[in-house]
Copies of this chain bind each other. A is one copy, B any other.
């Protein structure tokens, strides 16, 4: 997955390759955003990380904010890959709860994924304009789960996933697989039978 291939090794940035340079900058900015000791983004830092001249950052992006946005967008693309992978797994699974729990467990142990989620969340909280980007993951996940358990359960599970993700960002040790399985199964079941349950 892109997020993990030797970051810092900037994209092809030969002169006269506007597209490549643009990408290299976005990549560099995205990498910076994932850095745990997250220094704030700055033109200089991005340029240095991308191995490109300072001027390039303002040449390709009219403001730092625009660059940040592009970087966050890049992050959502990485998440899309993860989502796609989850979707295909689920569609072939007999036991959706078990399959998804497994996926989630893997995901939570993957530092990059967690950092992406966190980076998007942080950026979005303080910048309302970026909220759609951060909700991309949530909506995507709910969308994938929905066919397997209905919209309500999907939403509940997605909320739980967010909680688990942010939890591991602070705790380092994620919830264990059995717990994840149990929770997901319970949430699915609860919504499957909700009419009877709560009457």
User: A-side interface residues toward B, CB under 8 Å?
Assistant: 36-38, 40, 118, 121-122, 124-128, 131, 134-135, 138, 152, 155-156, 158-164, 166-167, 169-171, 175, 178-179, 181-183, 185-187, 189-191, 194, 197-198
Given A122-B125, A155-B179, A131 contacting B185 (CB threshold 8 A): no
Q: B166, B169, B190: which contacts A185 (Cβ < 8 A)?
A: B190
For this chain, the copies found in one complex come to: 4
Contact B182 A37 (CB under 8 A): no
Q: B36, B155, B187, B198: which contacts A178 (Cβ < 8 A)?
A: B198
Contact B36 A126 (CB under 8 A): yes
- Smallest distance from the beta carbon of A37 to chain B beta carbons, Å? 6
Given A160-B160, A163-B162, A37 contacting B128 (CB threshold 8 A): yes
